[in-house]
Structure 1
C-alpha cells in the first residue's frame, strides 16, 4: 500500500548560484558524503546537486513532514541500488518518521525517480508499505 507521495521541481540555476555563493558550506549542510562524492564527480555538478535537493524535498513531502518535525536535510540521502536504481536512505528523525507511517507487519520501500532538463530538475518519491514475509521455516 502507498503511504506517501511527494514531488519537487527546482531551477538548476538556483543551485548553481547557491554553490557559487556558499560552496562547501551549503553542500556540507544539506548533502550526505555519498551525495557530495557523486555530485562533485559530475560534469554537470549543479544539475546533480539539484536533482538530489529535489529528491530530499520530495521525500520530506512523502513523509508528510517537510523539512521540519524532526526531519533534517542530511537524514535523507540519495543512494543507488546495485542495479543503479536510485532510492533514499533515511536516518535519524527521517527514519523515525518513516517507521511511524508503516503499519505493523509491513516493511517500507522507497521509490525514487529523478530527472533534469536544464534549467529544471525534478524528483518524485513514493513510499510503499509492503507486507512482511512470513518465516516459512516455522
Structure 2
C-alpha cells in the first residue's frame, strides 16, 4: 500500500554555490561522508559541475523522503548512496530505520533526474 509520495526540485547552481562556501559547513552538515565521497566533493575549492549535480539530486531526494514519510525528523538521517550500477537509493537501515518503523513504512522507492539546471527527486513510501 502506498503511504505517501514526495517530490522536490532544487536549482543545481544554488546547491553548487552552497557547496563552494569557504567553510564547507553546508556540505558537511547536509550530506554524509559516503554521499560526499561518491559525488566527488573534495572541498569548497574543488566543486565540479558533476559533483554539484549529483549532490543537488541527493538533496532533492532527502527533501522528497521527508515529504513522503510525513513524519517530523532530521533530514540528516536520510542517506542517499549509489549502488554499484550508479543507481541512487535511500538507505533504510541505521538512523532512519526507527522513523520509518513509526510511520509504518516498509520500503522507499526513489527516482532522481537532472535537467535544465534543476534536480528533481520523487520518493514513494510503501507500507
Fold similarity call, TM over 0.5: yes
Residue pairs, 1:33-48, within 5 angstroms: 33-40=33-40, 44-48=50-54
Larger Rg: 1
Supply the distance in 2 between the matched residues of 1:36 and 1:57 (Cα, whole angstroms): 17
Task: Sort the Cα spacing of 1:125 and 1:50 in 2 relative to 1 into closer, same or farther, 3 A.
Answer: same
8 A contact 1:12–1:118 mirrored in 2:
no
What's the TM-score once normalised by structure 2's chain length?
Answer: 0.82
Relative to its length, the structure with more strand (as a share) is: 1
Partner of 2:55: 49
Report the RMSD for the aligned CA atoms in angstroms. Answer: 2.0
Task: Sort the Cα spacing of 1:10 and 1:43 in 2 relative to 1 into closer, same or farther, 3 A.
Answer: closer
Provide runs of 4+ in structure 1 moved above 3 Å.
Answer: 80-85
Q: What SS does the aligned partner of 1:77 have?
A: coil
Partner of 1:13: 13
Give ranges in structure 2 of 5+ residues lacking alignment: 42-47
8 A contact 2:56–2:119 mirrored in 1:
yes
Deviation at 1:97, TM superposition (A): 2.3
Q: How many aligned positions are there? A: 120
Deviations 1:45-99 (A, max 9, x none): 111110000000000001113xxx3x2232101123455432211443x432211
